[in-house]
RNA sequence: GGGCCCGUAGCUUAGCCUGGUUAGAGCGCCCGGCUGAUAACCGGGAGGUCCGGGGUUCGAAUCCCCGCGGGCCCA
């Protein structure tokens, strides 16, 4: 086996999988129980980064794990292809800024084709870098795509179901709009886009009618909304000051007066009168923009003080300017008091002709002009700036504008109980996220499903042109065709999109001409129906019934209000139950400083770059093991190598070690069976066999809670700590020894452990595990085609020895203490000691008794003495250390025999180095000559010639001058000069197969 | 304004639910060792007012309360 070269191995393994169609075989049902996974479809815009990879690796890990547990896995891919993000990018590409331009310069047909083309572009990229290369074995051939006719139909289906249940309605409502994208956004979308922003902050006084000199002082951060101001609200219970300010009198909330006046820079003011909010009710004021906006002349009746509970006494003046067309609370108040709902702002964020002076201005421009006008009229008290959190468009970053408009809704608020009941049957990991989801559902608002856009599922609602109260909702393509009197000659995928859908002419007996509502559907409804649309569930009922509800879905935390919600919402609308059993909520990936990854900061690590830089499996190991799935992940490129490559190297070399010797000795698992050697196991064999089975049991426990990082750490730690550092270190001499066939006991033990280990590693590092399977397991058992087509072996309870594992832990602690003590004494591990004494209580000693030999080997002590009596090594001849009730001691002096042995080992080590430098194979024999000015060294070589020869695989070790032309090096050994010569001998290697 | 989460070594963190060895790792730093799988690795050391304060308790990183600081969500 060659050294580990991750990239080459991944390349080779990918080819192997492709040629043998392993992923297809992996997905083929084998009659087991079904683990049905529903892919949260990535949106096909933008390039995948490590955050996407993290999520996709959890999917992959969980699928592979369950496949190896014996489940059949349903692993269909899926893509979310429609919606604003795509449009935004196409607009950029085409160089257009408004919808009008799209219509006029390009036409919808061309625009939609461009959208399709862009989707195709990203699709290829996501398939390669976020799926195939990372080893995610989703079925991409049969992936669902939200732009397809057969998919869009299900969005229609659910909307029709809502209609049938009386949940679909249209309404006039104040909603957040993105003026750039010219469409309304849903609550969930608004939630995604809160950002810090600097806004104007102005104080305005409104003249109370009657020339009394009284004013209402109001504060706002959106001066433009004053254009549509219709009233002022006060809190009914609050107390208000009528403050005398240099002759004028202003109303301001008593509790806020001090702060407000301070901010306005007014020192000499006083409260001349205090009145409760309710007493101000009905006070009329002159509209501040009455002259500039003519329509307010007709609204004079409304311009007065109202009372409202929502008025804040924490900020502002305690008097709130009310624009029913621009604030949800204002709107409700307006409805309650019959105020005109004035919204002179268009969907693109500009004022229309009703806005008088402000006509044609954007809201920002209007804000500036409002400030100027008020200033000129002497109504502006103060104009400043404030930084606050304000909602922005989640796709394009434009600050949102609240305005009233007509939209279509699904009355989710009526289904709160149903949603909560549905959630009862769902397990949420990690648990804390359940509460959040629950409170979201408990307070869920009606879902605004209409969007004034182009590239999306057309809203399947038609209105009768003769009688606007008549509504027709169409739930399938078949139904559409049934009603259609004329239909464009295009394929289904096009037919269900603008502009083609609007070329369909529909007439029915009760209405001669139906006109479609000019909206598309919120994309969250697209992905939301994936539970049924992904498999064309109405036509594939049998398959669908088996999959539904899906066993498992996982996405990042923001999807609680996104996809997790839209899935359960649509499923509850249609059938009243949750579409999934388990959801795993993932945290986000941040940069190494804990900052969000963003193009703006330039700290995004893209998938392609990461894969090329680190290789897939090191990246997988890192992303899967570093943090709990639910936590934020601070991605530090330095750590990938540190944590992953090192561990993978060790794992790889464990197999190299095993392969080398097993091969050399002609080991064959079919012939040298572990079952035949069970009676001859050494204690470390029993221990490692127990450990591997315990690890499998612990793994199952961790995975039952989706503690993926700990599960992965567990397996890797086993490989690195237990297997490599401890077990292999212990059995090395047994493998080298040719005096008995004890090494076959080691091999058969190792083979058992390694094969199990590979299966445990397969879901974590599928490429490396497969390469090892090919090079190692298949070398002995060629019929085992792929580790990924195997099942985990059950836990072999008979192998488990919890007490031994505990004792071993104690022994390792003692070994560590001895190493520490040696360190302090300046005594190299290479130098043998006569004895190591362990003083501890009875129970600990009982644990250590069977492990004395293990301790003596690892501590390089001739013998291990166990004692309960502290005086055992209290004499001046010993040095001791103690820790947690256990003491260890080592003798200070060294006698001549041990000294000779130490010198011999020093020589051995140097010869080993030389062997390595000569690049000799492990089985090759050498001849050695040692020459020194030290009599001790000469004596050690002479006396321990056989020992040295055995250690370095020499056919001859002699004292004297090295041979002519052989490899010679001069060393310093304990102050003595030693010349060592090494040459290849004629002796044969160990007998091979 | 309300809710949830978090604060442990220079950095990243385990432990907290279920109170009880001397709070455990990894990285970095310093020292040493090992090397017939390993361009590897191993061991040791220094480094902690477990955010602060109060309470419960024989005993608190852990449970409770109050602050402070940070994050997320809702309004």
pLDDT, tens digit, 9 for 90 and up, residues A377-428: 989 988 888 777 777 877 777 888 888 888 899 999 899 999 999 998 999 8
A327 burial via Cβ count (<10 Å: 0-12, 13-18, 19+): buried
Question: pLDDT > 90: what percent of chain A?
Answer: 38
In this complex, the residue with its CA at the shortest distance from the C1' of nucleotide B21 is A884
Answer with the residue of higher pLDDT: A680 or A951: A680
pLDDT at A359 over 50: yes
More confident residue, A95 or A790: A790
Query: CA–C1' distance A432–B61 (Å)?
Result: 22
Tens-digit pLDDT profile for residues A720-731: 888 888 888 888
| Distant-in-sequence, close-in-space partners of A875: CB < 8 Å, separation ≥ 6 | none
Distance CA A907, CA A937 (A): 9
Transcribe A186-229 into DSSP letters: -HHHHHTTEEEEEEEEEEEEEEBTTSS-EEEEEEES-GGGGGG-
Give the CA A228 to C1' B2 distance in Å: 31
> Å between A699 CA and B24 C1'?
21
Q: What's the pLDDT score for residue A3? A: 80
Nucleotide nearest to A812 (CA to C1'): B43
- Position A991 confidence tier, pLDDT thresholds 50, 70, 90: very low
Residue A436 CA and nucleotide B73 C1' are separated, in Å, by 8
Query: Does the pLDDT of residue A311 top 70, yes or no?
Result: yes
Q: Which nucleotides of strand B come closer than 7 angstroms to any CB of the protein?
A: 1, 3-5, 12-14, 21-22, 26-28, 31-45, 72-75
Would you place residue A990 in the very low, low, confident or very high pLDDT band (cuts 50, 70, 90)? very low
Provide the CA A908 to C1' B60 distance, Å, integer: 55
pLDDT band per the 50, 70, 90 thresholds, residue A661:
confident
Lowest mean pLDDT among A575-584, A599-608, A788-797: A599-608
Distance CA A316, CA A220 (A): 8
Residue range A816-831: mean pLDDT, rounded: 76
Does residue A984 register a pLDDT over 90? no
pLDDT at A142: 95
Measuring from the CA of residue A328 to each C1' atom, give the nucleotide at the shortest distance. Answer: B75
Looking at residue A237, its pLDDT comes to 80
Q: What is the pLDDT of residue A187?
A: 62
pTM value?
0.84
Q: Which nucleotide is nearest to A924 (CA to C1')?
A: B36
For every residue of A339-386, DSSP letters joined together read ------B-TTSBB-GGGGGGTT-BHHHHHHHHHHHHHHTT-EEEEEEE
Q: How far is the CA of A85 from the C1' of B58 (A)?
A: 64
Q: In whole numbers, what is the pLDDT of chain A averaged over residues?
A: 87
Most confident among A146-150, A439-443, A659-663 (mean pLDDT): A146-150
CA of A754 to C1' of B57 (A): 50
Order across the sheet with A380-391: list the strands. Answer: A269-276, A239-245, A248-253, A214-220, A194-207, A380-391
Contact status, residue A880 vs residue A887, Cβ threshold 8 Å: yes
pLDDT band for position A494 (50/70/90)?
very high
Q: Which residue has the higher pLDDT, A356 or A992?
A: A356
What is the distance in angstroms measured between the alpha-carbon CA of A718 and the sugar C1' of B30? Answer: 29
CA of A657: nearest nucleotide by C1' is: B37
Measure, in angstroms, how far nucleotide B1 C1' is from residue A309 CA.
13
Report phi then psi at A277, rounded to 5.
-50, -45
Measure A797 CA to B41 C1' (Å). 33
CA of A430 to C1' of B17 (A): 14
Question: What does the block give as tokens for A298?
Answer: 């007709």
Question: What CA–CA distance (Å, rounded) separates A770 from A620?
Answer: 15
Asked if A155 contacts A533 with a C-beta cutoff of 8 angstroms, the reply is: yes
Nearest amino-acid residue to B6, taking CA and C1': A631
The tokens of A764 are what?
Answer: 């974590």
**Which residue places its CA closest to the C1' of nucleotide B36?**
A922
Q: Which nucleotide is nearest to A312 (CA to C1')?
A: B1
pLDDT of residue A449 exceeding 60: yes
CB neighbour list of residue A264: distance below 8 Å, 6 or more residues apart: A203, A381, A382
Percent of chain A with pLDDT over 70: 97
The candidate with the shortest Cα–Cα distance to A732, out of A649, A654, A806, is A654
Q: Of the candidates A593, A606, A601, which has an alpha carbon nearest to the alpha carbon of residue A633?
A: A593
- pLDDT, one tens digit per residue, over A71-108 is 999 999 999 999 888 888 888 888 887 788 888 888 89
Tell me what the mean pLDDT of segment A224-242 comes to: 89
Q: What's the average model confidence in pLDDT over A5-12?
A: 90
State pLDDT tens for residues A886-921.
788 888 777 777 788 888 888 888 887 777 777 777
Active site residues of A: 41, 80, 524, 559, 563, 596, 599
Q: Residue A617 pLDDT more than 80?
A: yes
pLDDT band at residue A961, thresholds of 50, 70 and 90?
Answer: confident
B5 closest protein residue (CA to C1'): A432
C-alpha to C-alpha distance for A577 and A419, rounded to whole angstroms: 8
Shortest-distance nucleotide from A654 CA to C1': B37
Q: How far is CA A980 from CA A16, A910, A984, in A?
A: 48, 8, 14
Mean per-residue pLDDT, A836-860: 84
| For range A651-669, the mean pLDDT | 88
Tens digits of residue pLDDT in A235-294: 888 889 898 887 888 999 888 888 888 888 888 888 888 888 888 888 899 999 988 998
How much is the pLDDT for A989? Answer: 44
State the pLDDT at residue A976.
Answer: 78
Q: Is the pLDDT of residue A993 over 70?
A: no
Confidence of residue A864 (pLDDT cuts 50, 70, 90): confident
Residue nearest to nucleotide B33 (CA to C1'): A828
Using C1' positions and the CA of A908, the closest nucleotide is B36
Of A577-591, A843-857, A951-965, the range with the highest mean pLDDT is A577-591
Measured CA to C1', what is the nucleotide nearest A435?
B4
Mean of pLDDT values over A800-808: 86
């Amino acid at each position: 086996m060659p050294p580990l070269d991750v990239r080459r191995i991944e390349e080779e393994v990918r080819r192997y999988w492709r040629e043998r169609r392993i992923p297809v075989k992996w997905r083929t049902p084998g009659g087991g129980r079904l683990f049905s996974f529903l892919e949260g479809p990535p949106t096909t815009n933008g390039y995948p980064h490590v955050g996407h990879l993290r999520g996709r690796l959890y999917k992959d890990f969980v699928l592979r794990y369950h496949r190896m547990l014996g489940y059949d896995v349903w692993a269909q891919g899926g893509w979310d292809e429609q919606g604003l993000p795509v449009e935004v990018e196409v607009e950029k590409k085409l160089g257009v800024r408004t919808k009008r331009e799209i219509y006029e310069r390009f036409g919808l047909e061309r625009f939609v084709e461009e959208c399709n083309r862009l989707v195709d572009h990203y699709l290829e990229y996501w398939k390669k870098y976020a799926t195939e290369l990372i080893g995610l074995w989703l079925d991409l051939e049969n992936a669902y795509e939200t732009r397809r006719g057969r998919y869009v139909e299900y969005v229609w289906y659910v909307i029709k179901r809502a209609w049938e249940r009386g949940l679909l309605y249209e309404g006039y409502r104040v909603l957040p709009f993105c003026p750039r994208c010219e469409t309304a956004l849903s609550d969930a979308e608004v939630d995604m886009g809160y950002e810090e922003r600097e806004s104007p902050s102005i104080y305005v006084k409104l003249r109370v009618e009657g020339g009394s000199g009284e004013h209402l002082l109001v504060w706002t951060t959106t001066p433009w909304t004053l254009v549509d101001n219709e009233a002022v609200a006060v809190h009914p219970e609050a107390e208000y000051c009528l403050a005398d300010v240099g002759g004028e009198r202003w109303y301001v909330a008593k509790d806020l007066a001090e702060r407000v006046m301070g901010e306005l820079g007014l020192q000499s003011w006083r409260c001349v009168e205090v009145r409760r909010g309710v007493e101000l009710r009905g006070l009329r004021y002159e509209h501040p923009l009455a002259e500039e906006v003519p329509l307010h002349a007709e609204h004079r009746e409304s311009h007065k003080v109202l009372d409202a509970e929502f008025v804040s006494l924490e900020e502002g003046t305690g008097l709130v300017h009310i624009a029913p067309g621009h604030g949800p609370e204002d709107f409700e108040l307006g409805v309650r008091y019959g105020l005109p709902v004035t919204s002179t702002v268009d969907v693109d964020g500009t004022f229309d002709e009703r806005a008088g002076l402000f006509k044609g201005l954007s809201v920002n421009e209007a804000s500036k002009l409002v400030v100027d006008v008020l200033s000129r009229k002497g109504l502006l008290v103060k104009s400043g700036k404030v930084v606050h959190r304000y909602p922005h468009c989640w796709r394009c970053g434009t600050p949102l504008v609240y305005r009233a408009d007509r939209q279509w809704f699904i009355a989710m608020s009526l289904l709160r109980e149903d949603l909560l009941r549905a959630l009862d049957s769902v397990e949420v990991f990690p648990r804390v996220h359940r509460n959040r989801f629950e409170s979201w559902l408990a307070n869920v608002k009606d879902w605004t499903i209409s969007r004034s856009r182009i590239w999306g599922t057309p809203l399947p609602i038609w209105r009768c042109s003769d009688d606007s109260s008549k509504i027709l909702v169409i739930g399938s393509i078949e139904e559409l065709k049934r009603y259609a009197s004329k239909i464009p000659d295009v394929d289904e995928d096009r037919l269900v999109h603008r502009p083609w859908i609007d070329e369909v002419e529909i007439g029915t007996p009760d209405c001669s001409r139906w006109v479609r509502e000019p909206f598309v559907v919120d994309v969250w409804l697209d992905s939301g129906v994936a539970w049924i649309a992904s498999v064309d569930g109405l036509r594939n009922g049998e398959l669908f019934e088996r999959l539904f509800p899906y066993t498992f879905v996982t996405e990042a935390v923001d999807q609680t209000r996104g996809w997790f919600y839209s899935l359960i919402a649509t499923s509850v609308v249609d059938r009243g139950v949750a579409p999934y059993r388990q959801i795993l909520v993932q945290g986000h990936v941040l940069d190494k400083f804990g900052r969000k990854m963003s193009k703006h900061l330039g700290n995004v690590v893209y998938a392609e770059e990461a894969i090329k830089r680190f290789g897939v499996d090191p990246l997988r190991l890192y992303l899967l093991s570093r943090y709990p799935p639910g936590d934020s992940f601070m991605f530090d490129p330095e750590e990938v190598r540190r944590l992953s490559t090192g561990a993978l190297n060790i794992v790889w070399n464990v197999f190299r070690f095993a392969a080398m010797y097993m091969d050399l000795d002609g080991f064959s698992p079919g012939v040298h069976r572990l079952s035949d050697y069970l009676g001859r196991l050494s204690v470390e064999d029993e221990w490692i066999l127990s450990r591997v089975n315990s690890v499998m049991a612990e793994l199952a426990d961790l995975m039952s809670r989706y503690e993926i990082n700990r599960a992965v750490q567990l397996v890797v730690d086993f490989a690195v700590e237990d297997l490599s550092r401890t077990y292999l270190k212990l059995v090395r001499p047994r493998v080298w020894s040719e005096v008995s066939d004890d090494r076959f006991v080691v091999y058969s033990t190792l083979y058992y452990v390694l094969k199990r280990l590979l299966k445990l590693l397969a879901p974590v590092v599928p490429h490396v595990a497969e390469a090892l399977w090919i090079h190692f397991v298949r070398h002995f058992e060629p019929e085992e085609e792929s580790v990924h087509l195997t099942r985990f072996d059950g836990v072999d309870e008979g192998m488990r020895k919890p007490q031994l594992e505990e004792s071993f832990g104690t022994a390792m602690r003692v070994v560590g203490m001895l190493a520490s003590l040696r360190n302090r004494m300046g005594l190299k591990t290479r130098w043998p000691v006569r004895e190591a004494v362990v003083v501890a209580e009875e129970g600990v000693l009982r644990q250590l008794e069977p492990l004395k030999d293990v301790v003596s080997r690892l501590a390089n002590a001739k013998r291990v003495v166990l004692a309960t009596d502290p005086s055992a090594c209290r004499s001046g001849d010993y040095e001791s250390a103690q820790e947690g009730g256990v003491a260890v001691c080592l003798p200070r002096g060294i006698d001549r025999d041990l000294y000779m042995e130490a010198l011999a080992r020093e020589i051995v080590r140097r010869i080993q180095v030389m062997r390595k430098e000569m690049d000799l194979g492990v089985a090759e024999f050498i001849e050695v000559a040692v020459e020194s000015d030290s009599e001790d060294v000469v004596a050690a070589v002479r006396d321990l010639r056989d020992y040295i020869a055995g250690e370095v695989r020499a056919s001859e070790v002699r004292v004297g001058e090295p041979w002519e032309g052989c490899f010679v090096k001069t060393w310093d050994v304990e102050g003595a000069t030693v010349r060592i010569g090494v040459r290849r001998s004629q002796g044969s290697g160990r007998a091979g197969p």
